[in-house]
Amino acid sequence: MEATANAVDHMSMWSLISNASLVVQLVMLTLVAASVTSWIMIFQRSTMLRAAKKSLEVFEERFWSGIDLSKLYRQAGSNPDPDCGVEQIFRAGFKEFSRLRQQPGVDPDAVMDGVARAMRVAISREEEKLEQSLPFLATVGSTSPYIGLFGTVWGIMNSFRGLAQVQQATLATVAPGIAEALIATAIGLFAAIPAVIAYNRFSARGEMLIGRYYTFADEFQAILHRKVHTSDE
């Protein structure tokens, strides 16, 4: 009975990890660190994307409520929302529009070209914000299984090297070495699966927001186009 208890204790998760070779332990530690970091980024990205979507809807509601664009620009400038990408696009476009309109002799088409460039730059900056952490999640998702597999292969190699020194190999002598080696693969999958799911989800949500930013920029540009040509008639 005591022997069985000792065998179970020897096959416990912590015992297998503590008795693993240094290389396998380093692999496990690397994967755990990658998993913890990816989970921190997942929570941060999720919070940021929710805030960006909510602020986009709030700003679009204000924009289409019929408010004067100059008044909306002053309100956005006095109390800017760093999470609102569409607000940054609006401010960039309207600022460039107002600056060029104040210059005498500027062609209306040149004004609109400047507005389009300013909004494209603003959209590019917002796109960079939305893509933060995605490369790391993609790296964790694609490489963690292979890092875990490396630890497993290394552990099994050490296990078989140990068997070569034993005259009679039994399941009891083989199982601990193989089990501790397979833990590395399990940790690798544990790190990779959430990272891949989060990467796909955040990429889709980011593309949706970017699409809405481009749609807003086109609609805003059409409003300014009518405004600049109507005032010049």
- Give yes or no for residue 63 having a pLDDT over 80: yes
Q: DSSP string of 113-145?
A: HHHHHHHHHHHHHHHHHHTTTHHHHHHHHHHHH
- Domain for residue 17, yes or no? no
- Domain for residue 223, yes or no? yes
Q: Which domain holds residue 143?
A: 23-232
Q: What is the per-residue pLDDT across 3-19, written as a single tens digit (0 to 9) for each?
A: 444 444 455 666 666 66
- Domain for residue 94, yes or no? yes
- Domain for residue 14, yes or no? no
Closest CA to 138 of 190, 187, 184, 198: 198
How long, in residues, is the chain?
233
- Domain for residue 157, yes or no? yes
- Give yes or no for residue 88 having a pLDDT over 50: yes
Looking at every residue in the chain, the average pLDDT score rounds to: 84
- Domain for residue 18, yes or no? no
Interatomic CA distance for residues 181 and 151, integer angstroms? 6
> How would residue 151 be classed by pLDDT, with cut points 50, 70 and 90?
confident
Q: What is the pLDDT of residue 172?
A: 59
Interatomic CA distance for residues 214 and 127, integer angstroms? 11
CB 143 within 8 A of CB 133: no
In the chain, the number of structural domains is 1
CB 188 within 8 A of CB 35: no
- Domain for residue 11, yes or no? no
- Domain for residue 5, yes or no? no
Q: What is the per-residue pLDDT across 165-211, written as a single tens digit (0 to 9) for each?
A: 666 656 556 666 677 778 888 899 999 999 999 999 999 999 999 99
Give the pTM.
0.80
